Amino acid sequence: MNKMSQTRREFLLTGTAGLAAIAFFRDAEGEIIAATAADPYPELVEATISDLQAQMKSGKLTSRKLTEMYLERIKQIDTKTHSVLELNPDALAIADAMDKERKKGKMRSMLHGIPVLIKDNINTADKMHTTAGSLALLDAPTPKQDAAVAANLRKAGAVIMGKTNLSEWANFRANPRNGRGTSGWSGRGGQTNMPYFLDQNPSGSSSGSGVSVSANLCAVAIGTETNGSIISPAFTNGVVGLKPTVGLVPRSGIVPISHTQDTAGPMARTVTDAAILLGAIAGSDSRDPASADADKRRAKDYTKFLDPNGLKGARLGLLMVPPRQNPEPFKAYWQPFIDKLRAAGATLVDVTFPDYGPTQPDRLNILQYEFKTNIAKYLAERGGQYKTLADLIKFNEDHKDTELQIFGQEIFLDSQKKGDLTDKVYLDAIEKVHKSVREDGIDGLMAKNNLDAFVGPGVAGVGTAAVAGYPSIIVPLGLRDIPPSTNQAGAVVPATTQTTGMLFFGTAWSEPKLIKYAYAFEQLTKGRVTPQFLPTIPKKA
């Protein structure tokens, strides 16, 4: 069997032997919920990094045992979610090494011995593949060195347990065909499923990372974002997603799209765990010029900003974007959360951002120009058979039965038509777009209204922060029942249920403030809900 024909399920057959399950577990609010027979080690459900460290410190748990437990959860539960693309055959050996260090009194960080998953566009110089979900890279040479993020995780003592599925090429290949609006599909990994309702879109491109964290298949995971690819799947899958300032976390060794927008970031079930993970991966790296100031700008410990009273005195721009149709239920649902912000001591100022519709073509132009140049550089460093974007386009055409079965490659084709990064069209677009989202957008509105940051329901504002290269963090608020309505054409839209969350975002290097506000809001709401892997959304009366 050649590598091309290996399936993700064959990779997962390297998991550990079957282990006993416990009948009940507690969700994020402490309520007891019955576990199914296929829910091994339910004591890991909603377990935090601090919980796991306390167990290992007491000797009740080892990193090896913990890794075995998560591997067993992946083996059984991921048959539903398909979020884990490949397991690390060295995971248990790494865990053993961390246990030996612990016995000798060495504790590298709060991540010492903690199993994590990383997105499959992050290079690892080990026995795992790095493919961005594409079969084109399955036979590519192993990267010569770890991505800086992976190296930082290893340095912190984390156990890199495996790699997660993603929207292939980080959602930058094409729109779905036949009207199937989905994310989380790759030629290599197939379709990742949302853990609350398995037939729903898990969002992307960090679909596998968001789903694996939500499904409690790992303690925390790493996602990447160019334009919403951490925040949106975090929102959709009910977890915390933290998209850092571009340059705070080094991007070297990550399959690129845009050097002006790309970043890796934490995905976790709590703001605390996201803060711990950010502290481990942030920092400067000589291979990424954008990270030159990261060591000076970063906090040594982001957990020191976890203040339950952190909203007191904050002045936040409130970004409310209710739907055009049936806005009243939206407002009624969100008003209690807005009231909680005010009750916690925050001053909320209504803000309206510029209309970014006219700059959408420029935004896409920027990404397409940068992708064509950046992917060629990455492929050259990998040294594989495919060295340019044109080579990837041809590969997809030659393997259309597997690669083009759901998605085309229109974005690839349009990107291939672009020139280099000296083109006036590209340079003008950069200047125009950055002025609109920074000077006239985030920074301008902050100065005009004397704001500390912005806050808003759902993911409104996520694109603005991403294009600016500025940070954002989403806090989960559980599930919202949405009443029936009518669309613009007058057709009935049936009642449904969706995940919800509150987004905080701000200017460059404002992670400490955002973590403080997000943590305080999280403590007030405790909105995270444990998924039950329902086949579909229950019908509403």
The answer to whether residue 443 is domain-embedded is no
Query: Residue 487: its pLDDT value, please?
Result: 85
Q: Which of 101-105, 425-429, 491-495 has the lowest mean pLDDT?
A: 491-495
pLDDT score of 25 more than 60: no
Marked catalytic residue, from 75, 119, 163, 513: 119
Return the percentage of the chain with pLDDT > 70, whole number.
92
Query: Residue 488: its pLDDT value, please?
Result: 81
Q: Are residues 126 and 7 in the same domain?
A: yes
Q: Are residues 35 and 128 in the same domain?
A: yes
- Respond yes or no: is residue 83 known to be catalytic: no
Q: At what angle do helices 63-81 and 207-214 cross, to 10 degrees?
A: 110
The answer to whether residue 289 is domain-embedded is yes
Q: Which of 4-13, 55-64, 130-139, 232-241 has the lowest mean pLDDT?
A: 4-13
pLDDT in tens, 422-462: 999 999 999 999 999 999 999 999 999 999 999 999 999 99
Domain C-terminal end among 426, 449, 478 = 426
Query: Residue 17: its pLDDT value, please?
Result: 29
Looking up residue 105, the CATH number of its domain turns out to be 3.90.1300.10
Domain C-terminal end among 384, 402, 426 = 426
pLDDT in tens, 399-425: 999 999 888 999 999 999 999 999 999
How far apart CA 454 and CA 264 sit, in angstroms, is 21
Confidence of residue 325 (pLDDT cuts 50, 70, 90): confident
350, 284, 325, 314: which is closest to 453 by C-alpha? 314
Q: Are residues 183 and 282 in the same domain?
A: yes
CA distances from 143 to 132, 284, 425 (A): 13, 20, 34
Whole-prediction pTM value?
A: 0.93
Query: Residue 207: its pLDDT value, please?
Result: 98
Query: Residue 14: its pLDDT value, please?
Result: 33
The answer to whether residue 499 is domain-embedded is no
Query: Residue 334: its pLDDT value, please?
Result: 97
How far apart CA 327 and CA 340 sit, in angstroms, is 21
Return the percentage of the chain with pLDDT > 90, whole number.
87
The answer to whether residue 508 is domain-embedded is no
Q: What is the phi-psi region of residue 514: left when phi exceeds 0, alpha when psi lies from -120 to 50, beta otherwise?
A: alpha
Query: Residue 38: its pLDDT value, please?
Result: 62
Confidence of residue 95 (pLDDT cuts 50, 70, 90): very high
Q: How far is CA 228 from the centre of its chain?
A: 9
Query: Residue 145: its pLDDT value, please?
Result: 98
Query: Residue 144: its pLDDT value, please?
Result: 97
Marked catalytic residue, from 63, 83, 134, 205: 205
Q: Are residues 61 and 192 in the same domain?
A: yes
R_g (Cα) of the chain, nearest Å: 22
- Respond yes or no: is residue 119 known to be catalytic: yes
Q: Which of 179-188, 286-295, 302-311, 495-504 has the lowest mean pLDDT?
A: 179-188
Phi, psi of 451 (to 5 degrees): -95, 155
pLDDT score of 206 more than 80: yes
- Identify whether the C-beta of residue 47 lies closer than 8 Å to the C-beta of residue 61: no
Domain C-terminal end among 426, 442, 462 = 426
Marked catalytic residue, from 83, 203, 207, 229: 229
Which residue, chain included where needed, has tokens 């059984």? 76
The answer to whether residue 497 is domain-embedded is no
Query: Residue 179: its pLDDT value, please?
Result: 57
Average pLDDT over every residue of 68-85: 98
Beta bridge partners of 497: 481
pLDDT in tens, 381-394: 999 999 999 999 99
How far apart CA 189 and CA 185 sit, in angstroms, is 7
Q: How is 479-514 classified by DSSP, letter by letter?
A: EEEE--EE-TTS-EE--EEEEEEEEEE-STT-HHHH
- Identify whether the C-beta of residue 320 lies closer than 8 Å to the C-beta of residue 332: no
Q: Are residues 251 and 391 in the same domain?
A: no
Q: Are residues 197 and 275 in the same domain?
A: yes
The answer to whether residue 431 is domain-embedded is no
pLDDT in tens, 247-287: 999 999 999 999 999 999 999 999 999 999 999 999 999 99
Segment holding 264, helix H or strand E: strand 263-268
- Contacts of residue 344, defined as CB under 8 A and 6 or more positions apart, other chains included, come to 309, 311, 312, 520, 521, 524
Q: Are residues 301 and 375 in the same domain?
A: no
Q: Are residues 31 and 177 in the same domain?
A: yes
pLDDT in tens, 234-243: 999 999 999 9
Query: Residue 324: its pLDDT value, please?
Result: 85
pLDDT score of 1 more than 70: no
Query: Residue 180: its pLDDT value, please?
Result: 58
162, 167, 149: which is closest to 95 by C-alpha? 162
The answer to whether residue 371 is domain-embedded is yes
How far apart CA 44 and CA 132 sit, in angstroms, is 29
How far apart CA 171 and CA 224 sit, in angstroms, is 11
Q: Are residues 28 and 92 in the same domain?
A: yes
- DSSP classification of residue 305: G
The answer to whether residue 522 is domain-embedded is no
Q: Are residues 399 and 252 in the same domain?
A: no
Confidence of residue 178 (pLDDT cuts 50, 70, 90): low
pLDDT score of 33 more than 60: no
Domain encompassing residue 196 = 3-305
Q: How many domains does the chain have?
A: 2
Q: Are residues 33 and 117 in the same domain?
A: yes
Q: Are residues 166 and 267 in the same domain?
A: yes
- Respond yes or no: is residue 229 known to be catalytic: yes
- Identify whether the C-beta of residue 121 lies closer than 8 Å to the C-beta of residue 166: yes
Query: Residue 473: its pLDDT value, please?
Result: 99
